[in-house]
Chain A
Amino acid sequence: MKETGGRNSIFTFDRMVALTSILIALFLIHNEYNMPNPNIQQTIGPSFMPIAILVALIFSALLILFTSLRTERKTGDADAVLAEPSLQTSAEQYKIMGMVLLGLVLYAVMLVPVGFIISTSGLIVWQAQLFEKGKWIRNLAVGIPFSILIYYLFVHFLEVMLPGGILSF
């Protein structure tokens, strides 16, 4: 299911990952190295493990970099079949995924001040629109009772306090 057309982009991605992680790792090592260490006599202190991991991380990022510079070898594995990642994502697809994320961010922002029921109903309608245009009534007819039911179930039955917001009951 994979398209082979996106080869150039995957080179760039792997290289970018490798280079950024090397830079971040160097920064973190520097950061950790300059940390004051506690006055407890220990063979290895709290800095040892993070620095060891970061050094190994730089090493593995270099391996990725070399692999991507040399060649690209692709075989289908099970997870690839599952995710069906066609390597080229169209602008349309990025747009729809961006909208999903935007909906989720708005949901997170609104959750506490506005409350669970209204935010969740909103999220469901928003999300459903992205997957399937129209059907407003169906989405509202499912979204609102679903939100109320879940709120009630969690707050009164499972004793998980969800934010009530402006509609708490």
Chain B
Amino acid sequence: MDLWTNISLGFSQAISLQNLAYCFIGALYGTVIGVLPGIGPLVGISILLPITYSLPPVSAVVMLAGIYYGSAYGGSTCSILVNTPGESSAVVTCFDGYQMAVQGRAKAALATAAIGSFFAGTLATVAIMFLAMPIARLGIKFTPAEYFSLLLLALTMVGTLTTESPVKGLFTTLVGLLLSTVGMDLQTGRVRFAFGSQWLIEGVDFIVVAIGLFAISEVLVQAELVQKFGLQKREQISGRYWITMEELKQSFMPYVRGTVIGFLIGVLPGAGSTPATFFSYAVEKKSSKHPERFGKGAIEGVAGPEAANNAANQGALVPLLTLGIPGSATTAVMLGAFMIYGIQPGPLLFEKDPAFVWTIIASMYIGNIILLILNLPLVNIFAKLLDLPAALLSSMVLTFCTIGVYSIRFAVFDVFLMIIFGIVGYFMRKHDYPAAPLLLALVLGEMMEQGLRRALTLSNGDWTVFVTRPISLGLLSISALSLLYSVIKYLRGKKRLA
């Protein structure tokens, strides 16, 4: 089937009333969790997962995708109005966005963020459309050996590149892999590391770990901050015009550059949207004739990073959909969700169920339009969420986290496990142990082990299969390079201080 047949197939399904409704719910919910500080897409999706099990898979995925890219729209609202980034990818938007709000230009900041997100989200979806088939075709040639090498690459890149301290990134990756081995081994039925607990025989659920590490630890951090700084007030949205022609003109090139930068960084596993936003900000500042305006309310400083953020988010869906490889913690949770629905994303999915993949891609165009409407004329309504007392908000978050974890298999055991991971996550944050690699490793660990064992079974126990096949060798070499990079970084750091 050619591209256009696929796209029209996708659209014909995406505009069904049911899928439109779930796309809208996803976009709405995504905007809400984006606006609220402390709940990002990762936690938002994790909490919601258990109640999506009964939905038709395609609607559930349309909704999850909506939450995923929708939260990036909402994230800017909190940065601009409260100067508090809801997630790390919204940090940069605070620099100039909040300054614009202080100067009474909140509307222009919100508008450029929403339009930039729409621009980038839509263009990136076009890019996904054209890239998906070629990459999936390449992926179809993969044997278990290539898959194992590819998973290893994703893990080493996330572990070593997303963090300031690759040594700690490596450490948390390994802890995640170890957690993935807990429970019954699929091939032999032997139980590992369960220590007599009937719950651990089924393994450690990634949702429990995700909510503990990311949401519970966040509530703890907020409790700590409130004790120290008190509650924060937000800036008001005032002024007559959303955005002037002049401001739109100033924003246009940053949109274009941000989209390209974001998409390229997003497609690579490991980088994620945060570095994309910082990179875009740096590019805008460098290419500006008046770099001194940055940090004092330059609209380009909002436009570029916001476009980059959305483009990077969409870009990260390329390896997820075409190869089944997540490049970030949030996409790892989405992969986990896919598997619960019984869908194995990857090249075979494009062959076996093109309607499924293309419906999701088509729904992204629709979702971005819905989000533009939600985040421009209706932004006032969402901004009201920021007036919600932090005291009540945090307890509601705890309630939803508990329901999310409890309803996986109706086990209070999991709730206690979540609390333990919350405490661990708090200390990990305090001491710069990155949580994303741990979660990614937990989701990918089982696939990796199965890939390794299957590859060795196919090669009759010959380990050279990983280096004699060219693609596998290439992937392993890049993993080795990224490990080498972290060793060099480690040694350099030592030298600088010596």
Residue with the highest number of chain B CB atoms closer than 10 Å, among A85, A89, A105, A111 = A85
B168 contacts which chain A residues (CB < 8 A)?
64
Give the segment of B363-371, B373-381, B394-402 that binds chain A.
B394-402
Which one of A43, A92, A160 contacts B227 once the chains associate, using CB atoms below 8 Å?
A92
Given contacts A46-B185, A50-B178, A86-B228, contact A108 B395 (CB under 8 A): no
Interface string of B152-186 (1 = CB under 8 A from A): 00000000000111011011001101100100010
A4 within 8 A of B: no
Contact residues, B393-440 vs A (CB, 8 A): 394-396, 398-399, 402-403, 406-407, 410, 412, 415-416, 419, 422-423, 426-427, 429-434
A28 contacts which chain B residues (CB < 8 A)?
193
Q: Quick check: A54 and B224 within 8 Å, CB to CB?
A: no
Roughly how many angstroms separate A82 CA and B494 CA in the complex, as a whole number?
26
Q: Quick check: A97 and B223 within 8 Å, CB to CB?
A: yes
Q: Quick check: B91 and A82 within 8 Å, CB to CB?
A: yes
Q: Quick check: A82 and B85 within 8 Å, CB to CB?
A: yes
Which one of B189, B398, B429, B453 contacts A42 once the chains associate, using CB atoms below 8 Å?
B453
Roughly how many angstroms separate A107 CA and B135 CA in the complex, as a whole number?
48
Q: How far is the CB of A164 from chain B (nearest CB, A)?
A: 13
Roughly how many angstroms separate A142 CA and B399 CA in the complex, as a whole number?
13
B101 within 8 A of A: no
Q: Quick check: A49 and B181 within 8 Å, CB to CB?
A: yes
Which one of B177, B427, B461, B494 contacts A70 once the chains associate, using CB atoms below 8 Å?
B494
Roughly how many angstroms separate A35 CA and B490 CA in the complex, as a whole number?
37
A150 within 8 A of B: yes
Contact residues, A67-88 vs B (CB, 8 A): 67, 70-71, 73, 75, 77-87
Roughly how many angstroms separate A163 CA and B193 CA in the complex, as a whole number?
30
B342 within 8 A of A: no
Given contacts A75-B164, A82-B91, contact A104 B188 (CB under 8 A): no
Q: How far is the CB of A65 from chain B (nearest CB, A)?
A: 10
B245 contacts which chain A residues (CB < 8 A)?
none
Q: Quick check: A158 and B419 within 8 Å, CB to CB?
A: no
- B interface, over-half SS: helix
Interface string of B454-498 (1 = CB under 8 A from A): 001100110000000000000000000000000000100110111
Chain B residues close to A by CB (< 8 Å) = 50-51, 54, 85, 87-89, 91, 163-165, 167-168, 170-171, 174-175, 177-178, 181, 185, 187-190, 192-193, 216, 219-221, 223-228, 231, 274-275, 278, 389-392, 394-396, 398-399, 402-403, 406-407, 410, 412, 415-416, 419, 422-423, 426-427, 429-434, 449, 452-453, 456-457, 460-461, 490, 493-494, 496-498
Extra 15 A-B pairs, beta carbons < 8 Å, given A78-B91, A104-B398, A150-B399: A40-B188, A42-B188, A46-B185, A49-B177, A56-B174, A57-B178, A71-B493, A82-B87, A84-B221, A93-B224, A100-B223, A107-B402, A127-B391, A131-B391, A131-B394
Chain A residues close to B by CB (< 8 Å) = 10, 13-14, 17, 21, 28, 31-32, 35, 37-38, 40, 42-47, 49-50, 53-54, 56-57, 60-61, 63-64, 67, 70-71, 73, 75, 77-87, 89-90, 92-93, 96-97, 100-101, 103-105, 107-109, 111-112, 120, 123-124, 126-132, 135, 139, 142-143, 146-147, 150, 154, 158-162
Question: What are 9 A-B contacts defined by CB distance under 8 Å?
Answer: A47-B192, A53-B174, A63-B167, A79-B429, A79-B434, A128-B395, A131-B394, A143-B395, A159-B54
